[in-house]
Amino acid sequence: MASTNDQPQQIGPYRLLQVIGEGGMGVVYEAEQKNPVRRRVALKMLKLGMDSREVLGRFEAERQALAVMEHPGIAQVFDAGLTDDGRPYFIMELVRGLPLLEFCGRHRLDTRSRVRLFGLVCDAVQHAHQKGVIHRDLKPSNILVMGAFDDPRPKVIDFGVAKATGRRLTDHTVVTTFGQTVGTLAYMSPEQAEMSGLDVDTRADVYSLGVTLYELVVGKVPLDPFEVGGPQFLARLLEPDLSMPTLSERLDSLEPADVERTERLRRTTLDRLRKELAGDLQWIVLKTIEKDRTRRYATANGLRSDLDRYLADEPVSARPPSVMYRMRKFTRRHRMGVAVAAAGITGLAVFGAAMAVQADRIGRERDRAVRETRKSAAVNAFMNEVLLAAEPLDGLGPDATILDALNWIVAESDGPFSDDPEVDSSVRHAVGAVFSQLGQLDRAEELLLDALDSRLEALGATHADVGSTLYQLGNLAVGRGDLDSAAVLLERALVVRRGALPETDASLAHTLTQLGYVRVNLGDAEAAEPHLDEALDIFRAQDPETVAVSEALNVLGQLHRLTNEPEAAEGYTREALEVRRRMYRAGHPKIAERLNNLAVVLDDDGRRAEAVELYREALEIYEDVYGPRSDVVAVGLSNLGLALTDLGEETDAEAAHRKALDITQEVSGPQSFNSAIQHNNLARHLCTYDGADEGLPHAEMAVGIGATAFEADSYINGVFMSTQGLCLDGVGAKARAEEVLLEAITVLENALGSDHPHAATARDRLADVRAG
């Protein structure tokens, strides 16, 4: 037995056999228990002299953390006590396994087998998070794998620096002091490395899982403190624009000895491995180790779900970085220019009253007007020539669609305007905006990003055209449901437009309105209201009877609905409706939009009978204008169905939801996001009225579509998971319902804030599960 004379040979019913692990504060023994059952166990005990209040607190916290968890992927606690000399110990399951990397290397597992095994690790970590425990030191050596290569059973161990969320693990005081890092450098999240310890949540473990997965498939961590040195590592990790090497880039940096070892342990060649790691798996890993934790997977289960989709050759939610990534890259390439541009905006704000500056600005405005006129004329002439051509376009047949023509325009713009980047970027901007309106978001994003790059290079970061493209990219992000990116893009557009345009310019007001809309939907009413008030003042000063005035009033109505001010919400929304009634003839679909929005406000205020009448009036207009089977009719039916559900009119509500789903699947396609919404709403209705057996498949369909259409941590997916949890509770799957609702709450609170109605609904459903 590996033991020293100052260590006991026997502790209670446990005979110590050998030391199997040792850390800073404790030592772990393999021990034999003789009664009441005979078995081998692991006994963890504090070292002599390690009896400070902090160490005792950490030791007790680890025992409590293990005690609250019960999962096949986490070592189980059996017993606890004190030695004769007063040192605490606890008894846990003896895990006879190999560290994760050693297991995979010894069995020469290929990439997919490694990913499959890693999914089981995610399950264990997800369970810990659901029990309110953050590990904070996840790494390959803290994951032991038992079993055969074709039946691996991983166990997460060493919760010695675990942190509780929402509960205290111990009555002892456990303090993470300022300046003290917790975790292992190579696997530590940036927020842990900041050393405050005050704002670390479950996404820190998600980051550590990502580094572990990176090393598991590549053979190296993305950033190695042993290669660059500890201080330099921390400095890199804390860089505001930290960008990790891709899997392929890290493979290419391997030393010859590492390449030989990797090929041998993986039974493959470097070229084959590089192909395996490209694409979806690469984006999954890079999403998991994002510096900005709001861009990571919100939960370990979200990561696991994407890995499952990768293994099943299904679309994953992780995507190549696009708008914000390109913006950060540009800022790094042109850091000085952007800084000077920002200073220039400030300077104009401070010294704008000076006569010399005024004269200069008048001159610039005159020159800009001349350039804009020339540019607009060139773009309009070219596009009109293409779209109104009597003969088919070169390379396109007589049956070419508008999308074909638009793509042809972009290709042709490389010719006539290749020597004029302003006109070329304007063509790309204009066509990108049209693609966005047509729902072709990927193509629109590609063109708008090209236009943005060209405009930034040619015109500088403060030019009005840059603000215009940023605004369009923000709108596109709204269309994707990526409200966080939309907020950043629209904020940047607002800064540029404030510096480049008159303070009464309508474009500035449109930016304020859209940014206000995004802030409202992110649950930040306080930030949204001044934007919307300013936009409304600008629009009203120009003309009080415009679409823009109605839009700003409508969003203000949404804002006061969010802040639970029904009287103000109704006032703004009714005014928005009246403006449209004065602008449009009776029966116009623009009036139906506002009728529908007013119905939502009344529905929220409990005035459901009034709301149903407005929903029916809007639906009648939609059916008259668009026909009985259009997407807007489906939306109207869905809203009506939700109100009828809440009103208790079960039969009519179900009929409305089923018709809405049928129309949407026909018009938008069975795998469209619109179909996911209708599946979700039908599921909500069925599971409210004891139809959970039929409702659950609809809820799961919505979750599946949402996972491929949006980021895993999008609030929309949180809404879908909340409905899924309701339905799982309805079929009696309490444990699964609790798991799904906990994940939904995490996503919704991270995306919208804990006070948002969607988050409150998910919490109420969780309370119902636990109460039942």
Helix axis angle for 673-688 and 715-730, nearest 10°, is 30
The CA radius of gyration of the chain, in Å to the nearest whole number, is 30
User: For residue 437, with 0-12 CB atoms within 10 Å meaning exposed, 13-18 middle and 19 or more buried, which class applies?
Assistant: exposed
Q: How far is CA 604 from CA 7, 564, 587, in A?
A: 67, 9, 25
Which structure tokens are listed for 637? 């039916």
Q: Establish how many alpha carbons lie within 13 A of residue 325's alpha carbon, considering only the half-sphere containing its beta carbon.
A: 13
Which structure tokens are listed for 461? 């970061």
Which structure tokens are listed for 499? 């510096």
Is 624 a catalytic site residue?
no
Residue found by looking up tokens 């599921």 in the block: 683
- Among 7, 94, 19, smallest CA distance to 47 is for 7
Those residues whose C-beta lies under 8 Å from the C-beta of residue 24, and which sit 6 or more positions away, are none
- Among 95, 230, 295, 192, smallest CA distance to 750 is for 295
Cβ pair 178, 139 in contact under 8 A: no
Q: 19: part of which helix (H) or strand (E)? A: strand 14-22
Residues 127 and 631: their CA atoms lie apart, in Å, by 40
Cβ pair 217, 311 in contact under 8 A: no
Burial per residue of 708-724, b for 16 or more beta-carbon CB atoms within 10 angstroms, e otherwise: ebbbbbbbbbbbbbbbb
Cβ pair 128, 154 in contact under 8 A: no
Residues 500 and 463: their CA atoms lie apart, in Å, by 6
- Among 107, 151, 99, 155, smallest CA distance to 127 is for 155
Residue found by looking up tokens 């290709």 in the block: 411
Category of 395 on φ-ψ map: left (φ > 0), alpha (ψ -120 to 50) or beta: left
User: For residue 744, with 0-12 CB atoms within 10 Å meaning exposed, 13-18 middle and 19 or more buried, which class applies?
Assistant: buried
Which of 79, 85, 137, 271 is flagged as catalytic? 137
Cβ pair 213, 199 in contact under 8 A: no
Residue 285 one-letter amino acid: V
Residue found by looking up tokens 């709001």 in the block: 294
Q: In the β-sheet with 98-99, what is the strand arrangement from edge to edge?
A: 98-99, 143-146, 153-156
Q: Establish how many alpha carbons lie within 13 A of residue 374's alpha carbon, considering only the half-sphere containing its beta carbon.
A: 11
Cα dihedral value 528, 531, 534, 540, nearest 10:
-70
Residues 387 and 558: their CA atoms lie apart, in Å, by 39
Residue 712, helix vs strand vs coil: coil
- Among 291, 232, 193, 208, smallest CA distance to 224 is for 232
Residues 271 and 287: their CA atoms lie apart, in Å, by 24
Residues 434 and 359: their CA atoms lie apart, in Å, by 37
Q: How far is CA 714 from CA 475, 518, 550, 748, in A?
A: 16, 14, 28, 8
Residue 560 one-letter amino acid: H
Residues 642 and 615: their CA atoms lie apart, in Å, by 10
Q: Facing residues of 18 across strands?
A: 30
Residues 140 and 447: their CA atoms lie apart, in Å, by 42
C-alpha angle with apex 217: 213 to 218, nearest 5 degrees?
110
Instruction: Give catalytic residue positions.
Output: 137
